[in-house]
Chains A and B, each alone.
Chain A
Amino acid sequence: MEGPLGIPLEHVLYLAITLFLIGVVGILIRRNVIFILLSLELMMNASALAFVAAGAYWQEADGQVMFMFILALAAAEVAVALGLVVQLARRFRTLDIDAASEMTG
């Protein structure tokens, strides 16, 4: 994969924005926790894509390093969040995120 590829950076960023917004919409429309977490993964991937694209543009490793950190973050988040999902399902007998709205101010 040597040589000129010719992808404008902006186009990659548009793709990243699109994926990110799909994740946002997913969070906003779904009530099921699993889908919300899934959308979250989507958003993280979108930002990772933006990082990697920027790194590729500058031809530096930093973008991929950031991707690694996002990966670690995602792994940690999923581990805790799925534990919470299991607890939620056990206590409320549902995966509806609004059922757990006990933190009313």
Chain B
Amino acid sequence: MGYWLFWIAGGIAILSAFAAITRMNASHALIYLVITLLSIAVIFFLLGAPFAAALEIVIYAGAIVVLFLFVVMMLNLGRRAVERERQWLLPGIWVIPAIMAGALFIVLGIALSGSEHEAVIEGTMVGPKEVGRSLLGPYILGVELAAVLLLAALVGAFHLGRRYIEERREK
């Protein structure tokens, strides 16, 4: 049952991801992205990582995509933007990326199928407790670095956004 659930969620994820990159309207694309993220959350849950699944929903689907939507709405793209997207997305543009992606898929597939050993995920749950212990134990340095990275991003985002905000205020 778990196996089929996995492939249903995976299929939805693939389809909605494909839809996300082909939409003309950015808001629609973001909605499809949310669907992909939710499917991935389901897969996380199946794999026995409920904490990751929760974070996927709360932070990815919740915070990050909302931030995207916020910017899209602030830029106020409208109907003209959709038209322009349609002009940009010509059929010819697909050829090289598709070949490339196919080649990469084949290569990775060959690389994956090389192992004789049958690896099966049993789905034992690894809960937030273990994650937290691991995170603040051996990975504490990584946490510190992530904190620094987030601080840098905070400063950077503030700096980039500030002038825009000030100009707005002047107007």
Contact = CB atoms under 8 A, between A and B. Distances in A.
A34 B74 CA distance: 13
Contacts of B150: 72, 75-76
A76 B153 CA distance: 5
B67 A82 contact: yes
Contact residue range for chain B?
35 or more
Interface in B38-93: 40, 43-52, 55-56, 59-60, 63-65, 67-68, 71-72, 74-75, 77, 81, 85, 88-89, 93
Contacts of A74: 60, 64
Given A15-B43, A86-B71, A53 B157 contact: no
B126 A32 contact: no
Contacts of B72: 34
Interface string A53-91: 101110111111101110111111111101111110110
Q: How large is the interface on A (under 10, 10 to 19, 20 to 34, 35 or more residues)?
A: 35 or more
B13 A78 contact: no
A32 B26 contact: yes
A77 B153 contact: yes
Interface in B105-123: 105, 108-109, 112-113, 118-123
Interface in A1-32: 1-15, 17-19, 21-26, 28-32
12 contacts: A15-B13, A49-B44, A55-B126, A56-B124, A59-B48, A61-B130, A65-B134, A65-B135, A67-B52, A68-B131, A69-B142, A83-B157
Interface of A: 1-15, 17-19, 21-26, 28-32, 34-35, 37-39, 41-42, 45, 48-49, 52-53, 55-57, 59-65, 67-69, 71-80, 82-87, 89-90, 95-96
